[in-house]
Structure 1
């Protein structure tokens, strides 16, 4: 299944290519549809749909006609459909909804996480423990919906054509206590089990890693159809997110990923560390 998010991204790529070929700037394109340049940027990143009238104006500006114009109109119509996560509108903010669609359609995901376990690797108890300390405090019903969303996202681990998943977790993400001892033991056990899957690579960046790289922030690199030119870098903060697909930005984060991967423990060493940490979390008799 191809989601509206992917269709918007395909349209965005086509619009950017057409604009570049026409020699037009984002400011010029924005002027034609009476909008800010940031809107053109969002359209080209596939972060928003486009009205039929605006698409016609841009196609005229770029000189796109015939079959290519019809293909873009088809992509625009598909991109305006309701996404698979629309029913969770009250749980998933708009800026994150695009990510979960991209995550579900990616063929490769590389995820660096310095402080907590990544969402698609969290156990139900861990999710509930994280939400129990949220401020402002959310209701039990909202917690249940949060759990449902994250557990549904984890379905990509088991789907027939599961993506290739690579994780680098800082040791602090594993040692930070979320919930009680049983919760952390269950979470570490789950990580050890996931790390055994053939499509999952999991590495730990230890406290004593020999690296001078500064990476106190998490980031995710998504690839589609195993095509490096489709890479998107996802960065998240407390209230918003940034999606990067500029070649220079993607290259920078890909290089950062490679340096972190080289500094992290190997997969076997990482699994052994997680096993030792799990033993340390035994509930006292």
Structure 2
């Protein structure tokens, strides 16, 4: 089943292009459906579903007909369905639910992480160590969600997955030495899978990008640059950036991070070396 969140974003992009091509403003479009301009903005950002009656009025106002109109109606129907992650709503903060929907349908994921291993790559013990201190049932639910998200790794023939990790992420002890040894061994194994690329940005990188301290994720759908989304997260909230100017800035930053990082083979060697150091520390 197509992801409702992704379908809403696609419809939003299509509606925005149609409105601009028709030379109409959001205020003018809002008047057609007797709503505030903010509602048109939410439609175009993919933040809410569009009723077929509202869509019909907008398409007529924009002069959209034929196959293009029918395609938008199909997107509107799909966008009003429940997402595949709806059963995990209690385990996901509201600002993160949209991300997991987008992640599960992305055709390409580019992820930079500065301090810890990316959530989608974490082992169960590593997850539990990060979440240590919370209610046990809540932790169990969080572990279940994160491990479920790893299904993308098993479908890497259809999803391109690229990661750049700061050397801090593989050296910082989360849990204990045994936890880190298992986590790094898992990363090394993943790096050998087709469609998965893991690179490490070493402390010795001679580039200003080596000081980038914030993580971000770039999501692409069917390799359509117009639908690219940049996800930037802080402690209690997240931003979803899709303006072309933002996408260009983060694409350039991503290219610079990859260029400054070790190659995939060198990165695997470093990950394995650090895993061996943790093995010696844990005495196993």
Instruction: Say yes or no: TM over 0.5.
Output: yes
What TM-score, normalized by structure 1, do the two folds share?
A: 0.90
In structure 2, relative to structure 1, the CA distance for the partners of 1:273 and 1:108 (3 Å cut) is same
- Count how many residue pairs are aligned between Structure 1 and Structure 2: 280
Which of 164, 180, 186 is the aligned partner of 1:184?
180
Cα distance in 1, alignment partners of residues 42 and 94 from structure 2: 13
- Aligned runs of 1:18-29 on 2, under 5 Å? 18-29=18-29
Which residue of the partner structure matches residue 224 of structure 1? Answer: 221
Cα distance in 2, alignment partners of residues 52 and 27 from structure 1: 20
Which residue of the partner structure matches residue 280 of structure 1? Answer: 277
> Which of 251-260 and 64-73 deviates more?
64-73
Quote how far apart the aligned CAs of 1:74 are: 2.6
Quote how far apart the aligned CAs of 1:8 are: 1.0
Quote how far apart the aligned CAs of 1:204 are: 0.6
Which structure 1 segments of 5+ residues have no match? none
3-state DSSP of counterpart to 1:117: coil
For residues 237-283 of structure 1, give each alpha carbon's deviation from its aligned partner in whole angstroms, at most 9, with x where no partner exists: 22222222222111111000001111111111111111111111121
3-state DSSP of counterpart to 1:90: helix
In structure 2, relative to structure 1, the CA distance for the partners of 1:160 and 1:246 (3 Å cut) is closer
Which residue of the partner structure matches residue 230 of structure 2? Answer: 233
Cα distance in 1, alignment partners of residues 37 and 140 from structure 2: 39
1:249 aligns with 2:250: no
In structure 2, relative to structure 1, the CA distance for the partners of 1:5 and 1:205 (3 Å cut) is same
Which of 121, 138, 141 is the aligned partner of 1:142?
138
In structure 2, relative to structure 1, the CA distance for the partners of 1:18 and 1:127 (3 Å cut) is same
Quote how far apart the aligned CAs of 1:215 are: 2.1
Quote how far apart the aligned CAs of 1:183 are: 0.8
What TM-score, normalized by structure 2, do the two folds share?
A: 0.91
CA RMSD for the aligned pairs? 2.0
Quote how far apart the aligned CAs of 1:221 are: 0.9
Which segments of structure 1 move beyond 6 Å, counting only runs of 4 or more? none
1:268 aligns with 2:265: yes
1:154 aligns with 2:150: yes
Cα distance in 2, alignment partners of residues 36 and 218 from structure 1: 33
Cα distance in 2, alignment partners of residues 239 and 50 from structure 1: 29
Cα distance in 1, alignment partners of residues 138 and 83 from structure 2: 21
In structure 2, relative to structure 1, the CA distance for the partners of 1:127 and 1:31 (3 Å cut) is farther
Cα distance in 1, alignment partners of residues 107 and 27 from structure 2: 34
In structure 2, relative to structure 1, the CA distance for the partners of 1:229 and 1:67 (3 Å cut) is closer
In structure 2, relative to structure 1, the CA distance for the partners of 1:196 and 1:161 (3 Å cut) is closer
Cα distance in 2, alignment partners of residues 31 and 117 from structure 1: 48
Cα distance in 2, alignment partners of residues 184 and 159 from structure 1: 25
Cα distance in 2, alignment partners of residues 271 and 161 from structure 1: 21
